Structure 1
Amino acid sequence: MATKTRIVGIAMDFSPTSKLALRWAVDNLISRGDQIIIINVEPPHADHTRKELFVENGSPLVPLEELREINFTKQYGIARDPEVIDILDSASKTKGAKAVAKVYWGDPREKLCSAVEDLHLDSLVVGSRGLGAIKRVLLGSVSNHVVRNASCPVTVVKGK
């Protein structure tokens, strides 16, 4: 019996903890043939050439090949990160995983929960900066909100 291809979302803000979450997912969660969707949420006030087209539902799914291009970073305002590209290339080559990205604009807590539904994610992996109790109350915790409200299993990878 063939196994179902899973769709695994990775919340990516290009911080060290989000890259750690990506590495953890590739090493421990991704299986042959799974699809990895890198989900980036830009601030609502960000001004990029593609934002006006896709502000409501996010960008189209962007294939790994386009993530390498400088035009992608200019159009969507995302840093071109060689480390992330290398991790995705490795997952593609060693596990046969298909990697794509999607960009949203708005509150990361809301947009990540919406992405679970929109993209039909089987699982979501997020990094945690490890805020203390006081900072978490003042700033809010994206990972905490997503764990409580997402409709799929969520794995939180803590930073060191």
Structure 2
Amino acid sequence: MHALSWCLSNVISENSKDSVLLLYVKPPPAVYTTLDGTGYLFSSDIMAAMDRYGYDVAQSVLEKAKRMCKDLHDVKVESIVEHGDPRDVICQMTQRLGVDVLVMGSRGYGLIKRAFLGSVSNHCVQNVKCPVLIVKKPKSTVANN
């Protein structure tokens, strides 16, 4: 949301013919295993509940993002929900739609977390053909008591 807010304040011109595409990527379901390597199987009811929850989260995030864009009069705002690895889906959608600029947030992972979890923004910078603008959250200030 911070990246969208920053983009709306600094990149998008209110009375332009710009378009904003809000993309939410639902990652594939996690595979749960025990320490001995055996997996867990979930009933169809649990899987359906997990799918509903994922859908509800996506809709909630997109509705909040759309509310942030409500004051843009001549700007076309669209939203898409896709499924898959966010790194791959963002790159594919950027290519397919001929995006001019990809604006994305950064979680601000440190070196260790980035090494283990990977960086979606770094992957996109390396693989999309358009400019990529990464918006970092400002470091929060901690009050010394």
In the alignment, residue 84 of structure 1 is paired with which amino acid?
A
Which blocks of at least 5 consecutive residues in structure 1 are unaligned?
A: 1-18, 52-72
Correspondence for 2:96:
118
Question: Quick one: which of 31, 45, 59 aligns to 1:79?
Answer: 59
Correspondence for 1:138:
116
The 2-side partners of 1:74 and 1:108 are apart by 18
The 5 Å alignment of 1:2-151 reads 19-31=1-13, 32-45=16-29, 76-77=55-56, 78-81=58-61, 83-90=64-71, 92-93=72-73, 96-151=74-129
- Higher-Rg structure is 2
SS of residue in 2 equivalent to 1:39? strand
Q: Which moved more, 1:105-114 or 1:28-37?
A: 28-37
The 2-side partners of 1:111 and 1:75 are apart by 17
SS of residue in 1 equivalent to 2:77? strand
The 2-side partners of 1:86 and 1:105 are apart by 23
Which blocks of at least 5 consecutive residues in structure 2 are unaligned?
A: 31-46, 139-145
SS of residue in 1 equivalent to 2:115? helix
Aligned residues: CA RMSD: 2.4
In the alignment, residue 18 of structure 2 is paired with which amino acid?
D
What is the aligned-residue identity percentage? 39
TM normalised by structure 1 equals 0.65
The 1-side partners of 2:88 and 2:24 are apart by 12
The 1-side partners of 2:55 and 2:79 are apart by 11
SS of residue in 2 equivalent to 1:80? helix
Q: Which moved more, 1:101-110 or 1:73-82?
A: 73-82
Correspondence for 1:6:
none
The 2-side partners of 1:139 and 1:74 are apart by 23
Shift of 1:151: 0.8
The 2-side partners of 1:114 and 1:102 are apart by 13
TM normalised by structure 2 equals 0.71
Shift of 1:79: 3.5
SS of residue in 2 equivalent to 1:145? helix
Shift of 1:42: 0.3
SS of residue in 1 equivalent to 2:129? coil
Count of aligned positions: 116
